[in-house]
Amino acid sequence: MSGIDGLVAGVLGNPAVPGEVLLRALTGELGRVACNGLAEATALPQDVIEVMVGHPDRRVRMALGGNPHVDPVQRSRLVADPDRVVAARTVDGKRHPDGDPRPLPDDGYARFLSHAMSAESAFGDQMLTRDEVLQLLLSSGDTPQHIYRSFVTRPEAELRLTACQWWENLPFADRVALTLDPVRRVRGRARRKAIEVRRCLTDIDWTPTNRGSESAIYNRLLTRADAERIIWGEAPPHYRYYAAGNPHLPADLVAVLARDLDPRVRYRVSIRPELTEDQRAAIDYEVPAVEDLDDAIRYSPRPPAGTPDEWARSAHPGLRRIAAGSVGLSAESRDALAVDSDLGVRVLTCRHQAGVAPELLLRAYRDFRGRHRSRLTWRPGFPTHGLARFADDPDSGMRELVLRDPDAPVDVVVGLLADPERRVRAALARHPAVPVDRLLVLLDDAELGPDAALNPALPVEAMHRILDAAGVPRGA
């Protein structure tokens, strides 16, 4: 057989693996790769979850805490794990394949913070410091914004000190509370931060390599002299890009930037909220390509005026893209955007709006070649039947879709096991139409063995034989 850990990982992540196999595996010593299988498992039974929560091997608990397919309520049981690495993995687990956040319950974050700041969590051979654990929470894409803001009212002074880091994003009342905090260190930090931010947002560093004045250029009321210095080329070129989004910029200087040589600057001007449709149309802007389905926020540096349905009717593709990723879009606007002439509008609509027709989801997937393309296949309604027709498609991503077709002919599936692209071969090794005898042979394939172990058609006895080879006793 190929690497035994890889095969065990495949078995443990197999969508059809029975609880008896999982429980047997958990009685043995699992390697890091094998634990990765548990971290990817899509349907862990409750009795298996119970064993994993109390498992002596922290790698098993980490696998549960970081598994994006497990209910966040179940995962949150590990937020106060004695091992900081387990707790950190729980709050900063892997993003679900559909890309949507799966936050823990609020009380889970509260328990995590209490435990992370307590003395009880600081024993043993810890791989992460307290500050590093907190940083993982702050950097997690799943953590809701209101959890960060809750630091202001936490009883731990260290967390209130941390809240000062995002001073500009705190409500005014919270900033006042921090400057009046009963702990001198906190109120001192808050007051220094207030002064620092005021200075940073009003004074501009003209050093060509400096990036620290971006917020000042983008947000604050610039003096006429400073604005002209930026726009007439006496400042670092990237400053014009940030000035193009400044809401206080005088109209005559906005008009200058609308003719800027840099297409990024012209585009940023073209989506300023105060412009009319005619004014937008008069700008020679270039709409940037959508390169990453998880990066739509950059199309909306400031919310435009109006409602999502009004943006959806704009002649400007940038505003329609903003509408495509917005909450509150009507079904009528959604349907119009799903067939929009702009690829970015279409794929962002499919990525963010529910109820898009299956054939339009498939069209968006076919047309889009950027990062996180596979997010679209997780959208509700993405088609399955009939995908075998793409077995000979020149696009390897389309050939991969054959895996999703439950009616794909056996000869088509077997043929794709020899596809020139490894990703296609690996995908089709997981198709249940692979004949069992061929599947068992694939287990010995150094390349495709772990993928064959993920195949739901793999006999249970074959799963047990893999555990035999890994040294896991039967009947334990």
- pLDDT tens-digit series, residues 350-375: 999 999 999 999 999 999 999 999 99
**Is 13 domain-assigned?**
no
**Comparing 238-242, 300-304, 456-460, which segment has the lowest mean pLDDT?**
300-304
Q: Which residues touch 61 (CB under 8 Å, ≥6 apart)?
A: 52, 53, 55, 78, 81, 83, 86
> Which residue segment(s) compose the domain that 55 sits in?
35-200
Reading the block at residue 149, the tokens are: 């803001």
Assess if residue 22 is contained within a domain: no
What is the number of H-type helices and E-type strands within the chain? 30, 0
Residues in Cβ contact with 356 at an 8 Å cutoff, skipping those fewer than 6 apart: 334, 338, 349, 350, 379, 381
Domain-ending residue, one of 342, 359, 383: 383
DSSP 259: T
The answer to whether residues 151 and 160 touch, using CB atoms and an 8 Å cutoff, is yes
Distance CA 453, CA 6 (A): 9
One domain for residues 121 and 237: no
Whether 149 and 84 share a structural domain: yes
Residue 327 CB burial class (10 angstroms; 0-12, 13-18, ≥19): exposed
Tens digit of pLDDT for each residue in 259-283?
999 999 999 999 998 999 999 999 9
**What residue type is assigned to position 99 of the chain?**
G
Query: 62 and 157: one domain?
Result: yes
245 or 221: which leads in pLDDT: 245
Number of residues assigned to the chain: 476
Last residue of a domain, one of 383, 402, 428: 383
pLDDT score of 456 more than 70: yes
- Provide the sign of the torsion angle of the four alpha carbons 43, 48, 53, 59, taken in this order: negative
Residue 248 pLDDT class (50, 70, 90 cuts): confident
Is the residue at 402 inside a domain?
no
In this predicted structure, what is the pLDDT of residue 38? 94
Q: What are phi and psi of 375, to 5 degrees?
A: -55, -35
pLDDT band at 237 (very low <50, low <70, confident <90, very high): confident
Residue 101 pLDDT grade (very low, low, confident, very high; cuts 50, 70, 90): confident
The pLDDT, as a whole number, for residue 205 is: 61
Q: For residue 124, name the pLDDT band (cuts at 50, 70, 90).
A: very low
Query: How much is the average pLDDT of 327-352?
Result: 96
On whether residue 207 sits in a domain, the answer given is no
For residues 273 and 294, membership in a common domain is answered with no
The pLDDT of 173-192, averaged and rounded, is: 95
pLDDT-derived band at 2, boundaries 50, 70, 90? low
Q: Are residues 84 and 142 in the same domain?
A: yes
| pTM of the predicted structure, to 2 decimals | 0.86
My answer on whether 348 and 243 are in the same domain is no
Is the domain of 317 the same as that of 234? Answer: no
Q: Give domain status of residue 421, yes or no.
A: no
According to DSSP, residue 472 is labeled P
Looking only at Cα atoms, what is the longest distance across the chain? 81
124 exposure class (CB count in 10 Å sphere: 0-12, 13-18, 19+): exposed
Report the distance separating Cα 105 and Cα 76, nearest Å.
7
User: Is residue 327 assigned to a domain?
Assistant: yes
Coil vs helix vs strand at 371: strand
Domain boundary among the residues 334, 354, 383 is at: 383
User: Are the beta carbons of 463 and 20 closer than 8 angstroms?
Assistant: no
- Average pLDDT of the chain is 89
Looking at the fold, whether 227 and 335 belong to one and the same domain comes out as no
Domain shared by 53 and 184, yes or no: yes
State the pLDDT at residue 112. 93
Lowest mean pLDDT among 113-117, 176-180, 353-357, 467-471: 113-117
pLDDT band for position 123 (cuts 50, 70, 90) = very low
pLDDT for 299 equals 47
Amino acid letter for position 43: A
Q: Is 297 in the same domain as 274?
A: no
Residue 287 has pLDDT above 50, yes or no: yes
Asked if residue 225 and residue 347 are part of one domain, the reply reads no
> Token pair of 282, please?
């008069």
Residue 147 counted as domain residue: yes
CA distance 28 to 471: 8
**What is the four-CA torsion angle of 354, 357, 361, 362, rounded to 10 degrees?**
160
| Res 428 pLDDT > 60 | yes
d(C-alpha 134, C-alpha 165), whole Å:
13
Average pLDDT value for residue range 246-263:
93
pLDDT at 120: 54
Number of domains in the chain: 3
Residue 132 and residue 114 in one domain = yes
pLDDT at 345 over 70: yes
Question: Is there a domain that residue 21 lies in?
Answer: no
Higher pLDDT, 236 or 353: 353
Confidence grade of residue 221 (pLDDT, cut at 50, 70, 90): confident
